Structure 1
Amino acid sequence: MNRVAFADRVVLVTGGGRGLGAAYCRELASRGAAVVVHDNGSDTEGRGHDPAPARNVAAAIVDGGGRAVACVADASTESGGREAVDLALSEYGRLDAVIANAGIIHDDSFEEWPTDRFEALLRHHLLAAFHVVRPAFAVMKDAGYGRVVFVSSAAGVFGQPRLAGYAAAKTGMLGLMNAVALEGAEFGITANAILPMAATRMALALMADAADTADGREFLDTLRVDQVAPVVAYLASESCDRTQLVLSAFRGRVAALQIGVTRGWISENGMVSAEDVATHLDEITDTDDLMVPSSIFDEMAYLA
């Protein structure tokens, strides 16, 4: 088995100062990567600024004999994303992979969700990914090589109560992944995603007082960051030549998400009524002949 290695590779990790992001940084550095630890140190709702988390992770990697530099700009802004990419280039002369991991959390019943909080979730997850990946994509395109890993969530793909903003932002990451994968294919750029679960400060924020109970602690103990970080390392590596791959990782299990479309029902005359949908719903939802398209064109060709 060939070792997944990052010799001479440079990886930028957004939200790299704590939790899973810090675990990704450590895992990548242990495999030889030079790491840009990008984190402005805000709290779980996106407020405040603390340079210590990013600098501490970078310093620990350097103290251990690795290569790392901290960027404490705000990834949710266009200038902050560009600053991190520019730092990778000025410090190491290249940028080979990006882990779009930055984000915040807020939970509320749907009818009570404040607009500013919903917008903040989109900004700190989806826009933060866009603001870093867009300038990184140009660098990778010129180099003819790149790896992009978007950190999505099962809370969005499958749903979780009280997380409207988080779910919308995290599912949007998959749409961004699809576009980057398709546009990057001819330039040696892959784009994949992960649905992780781990005991991080965001998980603790959601669990609130339940995290301090015996059952809560036992549950969190089963969700370790070291069960996720190696999966991200693989997706960010040269060893991974797949694109548009979405992996779920937690509790030692790694599984693939498949988003498919059924064969469905086809109208003989091209006309469809609401009554037709009701009549043929069982045929429409029959998954026996499920197809997994890699683009919108694949689904259109399915009818040919």
Structure 2
Amino acid sequence: MLEGKVVAVTGAGRGVGREIALLCAKHGAAVVVNDPGVGGGGEGGDEGPAQETVNDIVAAGGKAWANLAFVNDPAGATSIIEDAVQRFGRIDAVVNNAGILRDTIWHKMSHEDWRAVIDVHLNGTFNVSKAATPYFREQQSGSFIHFTSTSGLIGNVGQANYSAAKLGIVGLSQSIALDMARAGVRSNCIAPFAWSRMTASIPAETPEQKQRVERLKTMSADKIAPLVVYLASDASQEVTNQIFSVRKNEIVLYNKPRPIRSMTKLEGWTPESIADELIPAFKPSFARADEVSAHVFPYDPI
């Protein structure tokens, strides 16, 4: 599916990113494996994970190069794309998978934890995508594959920073898809369900939370990779501006927010008429106030 292609995968030293890099290489792509080897909250650094993924690809007969840059640094993000072009001659797909978590209930969230998560997820996605854009425009082709989350699409407790970043990525992807369509460039999002180092930090205190964690443990990271390979390939040339999820062997397509009800009052609305007329009419269509992904996906994937 990816013979002759060059793919850059961020956060590819472990978990979902590693599985994506391995499968892209198996399908013929040369892969830039980006991972600074930080901890789940963005602390530290270790070249081991990226190099190990590269070593495994090369041992299997593939082509890969390790990049240790931080995606939240514009110069570092640029180096990821430059490594692809200098080492392998081009760049065909960017997989924005890198991320950290600093989960805290809203009233205890610090400015530092807010900025750190936004910087890696949202700004990091912007930085790497921006660096690849001139090459995509010049060759009139390319694929952006961004990782969002049901924490942003649906909501989750204790993840205001992560949820905001992940829904922001959806908006970014949509704008990229619209702005780059004339250049033949695609931009799509994937919300993965998989047990990894990041999801291992999800609180599991209540029976419902424990049930959710146990369900996640059955969803392996390698199940996400086939959709990424497809979206990076020429076979997906007509697929852009979409949001997908992968849950084990289930692939989900999301709709975008669209109006579901409207009501017009010719004389105009007052606060009282909103309370007496509008809200009772709208209330049957209200989203559940405490909704999280477990309410939307209450069943176990096969």
TM-score bin (small chain): 0.7 to 0.9
Cα gap change, 1:215/1:262 in structure 2, threshold over 3 Å: closer, same or farther? Answer: closer
Cα gap change, 1:255/1:285 in structure 2, threshold over 3 Å: closer, same or farther? Answer: farther
| Partner of residue 300, structure 2 | none
**In the TM superposition, what whole-angstrom CA distance separates every residue of 1:188-235 from its partner, at most 9, and x where no partner exists?**
00100001011100111225799xxx9788534411112211112222
1:17 paired to 2:2: no
**In the TM superposition, what whole-angstrom CA distance separates every residue of 1:245-300 from its partner, at most 9, and x where no partner exists?**
1001112111111023225335364844434544134655777xxxxxxxxxxxxx
1:40 paired to 2:36: yes
| Partner of residue 262, structure 1 | 259
Matched-pair contact (CA < 8 Å) for 1:264–1:285 = no
Question: What's the TM-score once normalised by structure 2's chain length?
Answer: 0.86
Cα gap change, 1:270/1:146 in structure 2, threshold over 3 Å: closer, same or farther? Answer: farther
In the comparison of the two structures, how many residue pairs are matched?
Answer: 280
1:130 paired to 2:104: no
Matched-pair contact (CA < 8 Å) for 1:262–1:285 = no
1:161 paired to 2:157: yes
Cα gap change, 1:283/1:112 in structure 2, threshold over 3 Å: closer, same or farther? Answer: same
Question: What's the TM-score once normalised by structure 1's chain length?
Answer: 0.86
Give, in whole Å, the separation in 2 of the partners of 1:218 and 1:251. Answer: 13
Cα gap change, 1:244/1:283 in structure 2, threshold over 3 Å: closer, same or farther? Answer: farther
| Partner of residue 86, structure 1 | 82
Matched-pair contact (CA < 8 Å) for 2:263–2:278 = no
Cα gap change, 1:274/1:149 in structure 2, threshold over 3 Å: closer, same or farther? Answer: farther
Cα gap change, 1:218/1:113 in structure 2, threshold over 3 Å: closer, same or farther? Answer: closer
Quick one: higher RCO (CA 8 Å, sep 6+), 1 or 2? 2
Mind listing any 5+ residue stretches in structure 1 that lack a counterpart?
A: 288-304
| Partner of residue 289, structure 2 | none
* Percent identity between the two aligned chains: 31
Cα RMSD over matched residues?
2.2
| Partner of residue 117, structure 2 | 121
Q: Classify the secondary structure of the residue corresponding to 1:161.
A: coil
Deviation at 1:88, TM superposition (A): 0.6
| Partner of residue 230, structure 1 | 226
Q: Quick one: which amino acid aligns to residue 21 of structure 1?
A: G
Give, in whole Å, the separation in 2 of the partners of 1:19 and 1:274. Answer: 51
Cα gap change, 1:239/1:283 in structure 2, threshold over 3 Å: closer, same or farther? Answer: farther
User: Aligned match of 2:246 in 249, 265, 279?
Assistant: 249
Matched-pair contact (CA < 8 Å) for 2:40–2:197 = yes
Matched-pair contact (CA < 8 Å) for 1:147–1:190 = yes
Give, in whole Å, the separation in 2 of the partners of 1:154 and 1:77. Answer: 26
User: Within 5 A, what are the aligned runs for 1:69-108?
Assistant: 69-108=65-104
Give, in whole Å, the separation in 2 of the partners of 1:260 and 1:78. Answer: 31
Cα gap change, 1:68/1:208 in structure 2, threshold over 3 Å: closer, same or farther? Answer: farther
Give, in whole Å, the separation in 2 of the partners of 1:208 and 1:30. Answer: 36
Give, in whole Å, the separation in 2 of the partners of 1:262 and 1:285. Answer: 14
Give, in whole Å, the separation in 2 of the partners of 1:96 and 1:180. Answer: 15
Cα gap change, 1:238/1:264 in structure 2, threshold over 3 Å: closer, same or farther? Answer: same
Mind listing any 5+ residue stretches in structure 2 that lack a counterpart?
A: 286-302
